[in-house]
Structure 1
Amino acid sequence: MIVYFIARLLAVRFPSPLTTPVFLSTAAIILILVLGGISYEEYTPAKEVMTYLLGPATVALAVPLYHNRHVLLKKVVPAFAGLTAGTFATVVSAVWLVKAFHLSETMAASAAVKSVTTPVAIEVALIIGGDPALSAIFVMVAGMFGAMFGPWLLTVMKVTDPFSRGLSIGTTAHGIGTAQAVAEGRLQGAVSGAAMGFAAILTSFIMPWLFPLLY
């Protein structure tokens, strides 16, 4: 918690993709564990409280969602269109990239679910022939890169609308990206949280028939 708090302060003082709190605190924790000679088995019990709080924290995303429900309902049609296009794009781009490098079908199936939250990604990967461990890694990497470079890329592309920014980040970077979207603003966080949930549902429905068509 202390490391994350310091990372938040540094992100405010020195705004950059490399000072994104999720990335910076993760790198710092890994460095501390390595320098301290602390194994993963020793570290696991110490983080159980934080893992337990992940559930309530996810549910808490419903609070800004409720407060901004009028905005969400007003833009539900374009939001659904963008969400659908974004979900298909993340799947297709992942599979085509794996094929371009002539990697295995298992790798493609594992990468195809990279943009949804880990529990959903693991279950869907099992259905389409992916490896759960690889899927979890791809999900973490996608979320980390989305949180680091998503807001920056949207700013470069002159996407300033809070609703659009939240929708983009939540669709492609799930929970990790949503944490960064919440830091941007309540509306961005609310939209990102909703997009994360709907993207997971949509991916679960389309992946069993879409993946065989792509690979």
Structure 2
Amino acid sequence: MDSLTLLNIFITIIVYIGAKKLSQRVSSPLTTPILTATIIIIVFLSLMDISYQQYVPAKEWMTILLGPATVALAVPMYKNREIIKEKLKPAVLGLVIGTISTITSAVWLSKALGLSDTIQAASAVKAVTSPVAIEAVVHIGGDPSLTAAFVITAGIFGAVMGPIILNLVEISDPFSRGLGLGTVSHGIGTSQAMMEGPIQGAVSSVAMGLVAIITSIILPWIYPIIHL
């Protein structure tokens, strides 16, 4: 590991810690750590004239930690397993409907705007966690790199705007809020749900996983139909 990679990892960790402390002091969806940290790191890389290609090795090292971090989501899920089991059946029905609606609306909106087939395919999987989205989009002729950008953008937007929209429509139930955030903004939304409370975080984790499974099953069948 070279010195530049070490510097990028160090800066990323420090920036995220600072962003998290900011979100704790200023409680607002607009201070979501992933959003503020992303903006600050982009500014830093630009000022230091560090290209994205130079930053990639640091990103790959930090990506390794996603595995343990994802496994750690099982802890709040286990602690709140009773409420999850109690509402699992209606939740799964809602997730199926929500997933179909998300895919359909994204593709139809892209078509209405006259966007290319590649963008339509990427938009269809924007609400799914990156590893699943990148694999799934290949089967419908999409571009994995573009898909990754869509997934990250959708996750940040969902984490920022999701709580605001839920507040506007007066949805305060922890289970419902976690379900909504996990469904539309996968891991990034789950991190925001974790900040709201343990139930929200646990339910969002379940939603993120189930949406990935549902999308993997129905996408090859539904996409050719709505793409006509």
What's the TM-score bracket when you normalise by the shorter of the two chains?
Answer: over 0.9
Counterparts of 1:86-125 in structure 2 under 5 Å?
A: 86-125=98-137
Q: Which runs of 5+ in 2 are unaligned?
A: 1-12
Residue matched to 2:89: 77
User: SS state of the match for residue 65, structure 2?
Assistant: helix
Counterparts of 1:139-154 in structure 2 under 5 Å?
A: 139-154=151-166
Can you list the C-alpha shifts for 1:116-164, whole angstroms capped at 9, x where unaligned? Answer: 0111111111101111111111111110101111111111111101100
Tell me the TM-score normalized by structure 1. 0.95
How far the C-alpha of 1:171 sits from its partner, in A, is 0.6
**Are the structure 2 counterparts of residues 184 and 126 from structure 1 closer, same or farther at C-alpha, using a change threshold of 3 Å?**
same
Letter in 1 for 2:111: K
Counterparts of 1:36-47 in structure 2 under 5 Å?
A: 36-47=48-59
Q: Partners in 2 of 1:47 and 1:105 — Cα distance? A: 29
User: SS state of the match for residue 116, structure 1?
Assistant: coil
Residue matched to 2:39: 27
Does residue 50 of structure 1 match 2:62? yes
Q: Which runs of 5+ in 1 are unaligned?
A: none
**Are the structure 2 counterparts of residues 194 and 42 from structure 1 closer, same or farther at C-alpha, using a change threshold of 3 Å?**
same
User: Once structures 1 and 2 are overlaid, which stretch shifts more, 37-46 or 173-182?
Assistant: 37-46
Residue matched to 2:8: none
RMSD: 1.3
How far the C-alpha of 1:48 sits from its partner, in A, is 4.0
**Are the structure 2 counterparts of residues 22 and 82 from structure 1 closer, same or farther at C-alpha, using a change threshold of 3 Å?**
same
Q: Partners in 1 of 2:181 and 2:76 — Cα distance? A: 16
Residue matched to 1:206: 218
Moved segments of 4+, more than 4 Å: none
User: Once structures 1 and 2 are overlaid, which stretch shifts more, 72-81 or 43-52?
Assistant: 43-52
How far the C-alpha of 1:17 sits from its partner, in A, is 3.2
